[in-house]
């Protein structure tokens, strides 16, 4: 990569959506670059097991991430590791700016920057991060073998991670603010059948307690009776959703109240040639297969967009001829 290089397509983010977009873009013969500063595969790397990826009844998240990456690079996809600090839309080209001062341009850009774990924003959470507070069971579960942990959440991720932690921990308390989980039916059955998991219904964690060694428990409050209690625990794992990484979304781009980008069926934003996919895009469900679908859709749409742009440019008369009458 050289400064001010021009591409057909720039993909920012190397999760399942971004890598799938890379595959489809290369198959469409677009000059494409994918930018990713972390591990290829994104949030897939944090999943112990993926059981709903078509064609693989059971595969580790990190293994699936490797497959995605290898598939994309088998087409010769250029991948660079640089921090992107700005995306500047333009009439002719969109400009991506890097922290090191370099710029690259493209006819089209796909934003696949995903999101970060949503925080509880309660006392002790930030102070004890890395000392017993975690947002990734696959990353940190090993440190809680034969210990007691609290999992906060009620969706698919909370259920999956509770089951994973039950293989390691002595006891898992799943704290959910409602009287029913939001996880899929099969996951709910597994959670309820696991003897190491106890669900604390209608409860919220209001504080994470700690001593000199780190986390030692949590303060709880019942959402119906307002009754307060405390629970001893060695670790707290928080899975209450994600916040979109929308800092690179250009000003004027349509977003919903939660900061997710609104697109059309082609994953295109209200800025022509700028597409948003995966967990950054407003949608009803967030799954690997849906992010991959977004990536394919956006890349195919971008290919048509780029072809139309190039055709229009090639048909433009030279300025000297345009002024002759």
Res. 46: pLDDT tops 90: no
pLDDT category at 317 given cuts 50, 70, 90 is: low
For residue range 140-154, list pLDDT tens digits in order. Answer: 999 999 999 999 999
Using the structure block, give the residue that is written with the tokens 């690259």.
Answer: 104
* Residue 2, number of CB atoms within 10 A of its CB: 6
Q: Which residue, 9, 36, 35, is CA-closest to 24?
A: 9
Res. 169: pLDDT tops 60: yes
8 Å CB contact between 123 and 146: no
Instruction: Tell me the percentage of the chain whose pLDDT exceeds 70.
Output: 96
pLDDT category at 242 given cuts 50, 70, 90 is: confident
Measured CA to CA, the distance from residue 207 to residue 194 in angstroms comes to 27
8 Å CB contact between 106 and 11: no
The pLDDT of residue 319 is 57
Residue partners of 217: CB distance under 8 A and separation at least 6:
208, 209, 230, 231, 232, 233
Mean pLDDT of all residues belonging to the chain: 94
Active-site residue 136, yes or no?
Answer: yes
Instruction: Tell me the percentage of the chain whose pLDDT exceeds 90.
Output: 85
Query: Domains (ranges, CATH) in the chain?
Result: 5-116+242-319 (3.50.50.60), 119-238 (3.50.50.60)
Residue partners of 274: CB distance under 8 A and separation at least 6:
87, 89, 94, 108, 109, 111, 250, 253, 268
Measured CA to CA, the distance from residue 8 to residue 169 in angstroms comes to 50
CB burial string 275-292: b at 16+ within 10 A, e below: bbbbbbbeeeebebebbb
Active-site residue 140, yes or no?
Answer: yes
Res. 325: pLDDT tops 80: no
Q: How far is Cα of residue 174 from the mean position of the Cα atoms in its chain?
A: 23
Q: Comparing 91 with 47, which gets the higher pLDDT? A: 91
Res. 175: pLDDT tops 80: yes
Token pair for residue 240? 């209450």
Res. 209: pLDDT tops 80: yes
For residue range 119-133, list pLDDT tens digits in order. Answer: 999 999 999 999 999
Catalytic residue among 48, 63, 102, 140: 140
Using the structure block, give the residue that is written with the tokens 């994104």.
Answer: 42
SS3 218: strand
Catalytic residue among 139, 156, 279, 294: 139
* Most distant CA pair in the chain, distance: 86
For residue range 210-237, list pLDDT tens digits in order. Answer: 999 999 999 999 999 999 999 999 999 9
> What phi-psi label fits residue 206: left (phi over 0), alpha (psi between -120 and 50 degrees) or beta?
alpha
Measured CA to CA, the distance from residue 187 to residue 178 in angstroms comes to 17
The pLDDT of residue 43 is 85
For residue range 288-300, list pLDDT tens digits in order. Answer: 999 999 999 999 9
pLDDT category at 187 given cuts 50, 70, 90 is: very high
Token pair for residue 236? 């707290």
The pLDDT of residue 316 is 63
8 Å CB contact between 242 and 114: yes
Tell the burial category of 68 from Cβ atoms under 10 Å away from its Cβ (0-12, 13-18, 19+): buried
Task: Work out the average pLDDT over 241-258.
Answer: 95
Radius of gyration (C-alpha) of the chain in whole angstroms: 23
pTM, rounded to two decimals: 0.80
The pLDDT of residue 284 is 84
Measured CA to CA, the distance from residue 25 to residue 33 in angstroms comes to 10
Q: Comparing 248 with 48, which gets the higher pLDDT? A: 248
Q: Comparing 285 with 109, which gets the higher pLDDT? A: 109
For residue range 50-102, list pLDDT tens digits in order. Answer: 888 999 988 999 999 999 999 999 999 999 999 999 999 999 999 999 999 99
8 Å CB contact between 37 and 12: no
Instruction: Please give the C-alpha separations between residue 292 and each of 17, 22, 256, 278, in angstroms, as whole numbers.
Output: 4, 10, 22, 8
The pLDDT of residue 318 is 58
The pLDDT of residue 137 is 92
């Amino acid at each position: 990569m050289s400064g001010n290089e021009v591409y057909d397509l720039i993909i920012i983010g190397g999760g399942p959506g971004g890598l799938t977009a890379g595959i489809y873009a290369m198959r469409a013969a677009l000059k494409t670059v994918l930018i990713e500063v972390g591990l290829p595969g994104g949030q897939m790397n944090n999943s112990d097991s993926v059981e709903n990826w078509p064609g693989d009844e059971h595969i580790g998240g990190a293994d699936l991430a490797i497959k995605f990456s290898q598939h994309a690079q088998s087409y010769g996809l250029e991948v660079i590791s640089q921090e992107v600090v700005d995306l500047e839309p333009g009439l002719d080209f969109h400009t991506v700016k890097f922290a090191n001062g370099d710029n690259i341009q493209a006819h089209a850009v796909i934003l696949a920057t995903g999101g970060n774990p949503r925080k509880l924003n309660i006392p002790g959470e930030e102070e004890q991060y890395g000392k017993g507070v975690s947002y990734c069971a696959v990353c940190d579960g090993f440190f809680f073998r034969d210990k007691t942990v609290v999992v906060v959440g009620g969706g698919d991720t909370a259920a999956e991670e509770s089951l994973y932690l039950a293989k390691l921990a002595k006891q898992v308390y799943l704290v959910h603010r409602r009287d029913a989980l939001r996880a899929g039916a099969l996951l709910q059955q597994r959670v309820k059948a696991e003897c190491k998991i106890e669900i604390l219904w209608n409860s919220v964690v209001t504080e994470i307690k700690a001593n000199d060694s780190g986390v030692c428990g949590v303060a709880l409050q019942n959402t119906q009776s307002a009754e307060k209690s405390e629970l001893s625990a060695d670790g707290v794992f928080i899975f209450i959703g994600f916040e979109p990484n929308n800092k690179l979304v250009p000003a004027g781009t349509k977003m919903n109240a939660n900061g997710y980008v609104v697109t059309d069926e082609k994953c295109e934003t209200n800025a022509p040639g700028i597409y948003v996919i995966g967990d950054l895009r407003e949608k009803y469900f967030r799954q690997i297969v849906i992010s991959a679908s977004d990536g394919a859709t956006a890349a195919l749409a971008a290919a048509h967009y780029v072809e139309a742009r190039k055709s229009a440019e090639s048909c433009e008369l030279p300025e000297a001829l345009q002024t002759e009458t």
